[in-house]
Structure 1
Amino acid sequence: MGSAWVVAAAVLFGIGSVAQAAALAVPGTPWSAQLRHPAFVAGTVAEGLGALAHAMALQTVSMAAAQCAVSGSLAVTALAARWWFGTRLGGGGVLAIAALSGSLVVLATVSGQSGTATDTAALEVGLIVTAGVVGLVGLAGAVARRAWLVAVCSGLGFAACSTAVKLVDLTHPLSALTSVPAIAAALTGALGCLWWTVALRTGAVTTVTAVVVVSEVVPPSLLGPLLGDEVPTAFYAVAPVVLAVAALACVTLAYRSAEPAPAVENPLPERIPA
């Protein structure tokens, strides 16, 4: 079931990203109207369901394996963007998707088993500090219209959210809702969603997704052993190399997908007047 949750999250994240990007790409439309567009609402629902599937994966598989859902969503995004926006992938893009997929298989192989994470004061302080940094730096990036910086903050927000979810003790559901990890998960998750939406307004969907994926996947995956995951010795040697390959594949895919062809003036069908 853990693998099923990972796959479901990857598909939902990927499709939701493209649907949201399509609504935000409509020219001459106010932001408030874009956020109410059916495509954006549908994409948000898909992202929400993906987050639930990801949370279930975090409870059943190791952190590194659960983060495969995030990386895998980039391939779904790239393919969906190719169909929706006409974005070129090219041979390099196809190879990047193959490298990303292969690295995820290797990472899942050496990621070990999910363990019981121990909540500590240091981790809680780290999550709160991360939320503050993500909020302030993301705001600065949004004001300066730096899509890549906002995307990094979005990814780090989601990374902190995944880490916080891993720390939530579900054996006591009522007390878990008011725990510091649960509050930190809600705060960092909200910041991740906010900066994700802002980044999509100023950058290409595949490029933004690639930056978010790298920022979201790498830190929690490396923190897995500190969060109670039982990993084999090979993890410490293989995981950094595999994550570096995945990051390079994401960057390559973003570069290959940066220029749409042909340009789509309106990616959404116009409504037929009554």
Structure 2
Amino acid sequence: MQKTMNVGVIGLGWMGRVHLRNYTEMPGVRVAGVMDSDPAALDAMHKQFGVPVFDTLDALLAQPLDAVSVCVPTVHHLPVGLAVIARGIPLLIEKPLAASAAQGRQLLEAASAAGVPLMVGHIERFNPAVQRVRELAAEDKVISITIERVGPYPPRIQDVGVIRDLGSHDIDLIRHISGSEYKKVFAVTATTIGKHEDTALITAEMENGVLGQISTNWITPYKSRFIRVATTTRYIEANLITQQVKAYSRFQDYNDHYTIKEWPVLYREPVRSELTAFLGALRQGTPMPISGQDGLVVLETIERLGVC
């Protein structure tokens, strides 16, 4: 019988609440406490889930904890992460790892020195559609990866621009699917709503020759999430919202047609898969599914784009 794991959630914004709900539904997991500076958020979560609530980080970290999710705004990742690491508590930090590559390195160095497992929440790696695309891409030589991730401006995001918020998903996914590092990467951006960029077009060449392109913005009135992968034998398209994946054969000019293979949608909530993988790695003593180094590479790539 597996040991019950005591977990905590730091930050009760939208993503923190998703983590909390999933933890409360997972077998072998007990929520030992949640922390936020907003009394109304604490009261709401206590009433909804009956979990212990704390209004200071020290109070939460004084509880017996086997793991925590850090879901605070990006600007607070460094101080909160360092406080958790100082207590020797394994942590999952929501993406991006930190507000800058320098801060990300501080977190990695502290975790390494203390021997504390650290995972970065690049949640799209756990999307079943992404996992299928990666499997299909691995069967052939990839030529290019094109990703569209657009939607309306989110008032809850005030501390970073669209590249760090939305684009960071896809900077990670191109590296993940191509199995290669960035050789060249460029971006053009525009700012029309807030103080940070809200539109970006990113173009890249990977070390293995794969070409990458990301279109992301906060000015589209609807959400759209697509990955399209061209290989030497087929064209793969995935809708990350519906989790539907299609693969098209090459155009056969001698008989004027192509074939389409579609995989049935077996919807899984990526956050549940992510948290299960995180706690599973802790239970088994295996490496984190998404390492701190993975998160750091994303930050370093963003800084190569000249994004502050």
TM-score exceeds 0.5: no
Normalized per residue, which structure has more helix?
A: 1
Normalized per residue, which structure has more strand?
A: 2
Name the TM tier (shorter chain): under 0.3
Normalising by structure 2, report the TM-score. Answer: 0.24
Normalising by structure 1, report the TM-score. Answer: 0.26
Greater radius of gyration (CA): 2
**Which one has more relative contact order, counting CA pairs under 8 Å at least 6 apart?**
1
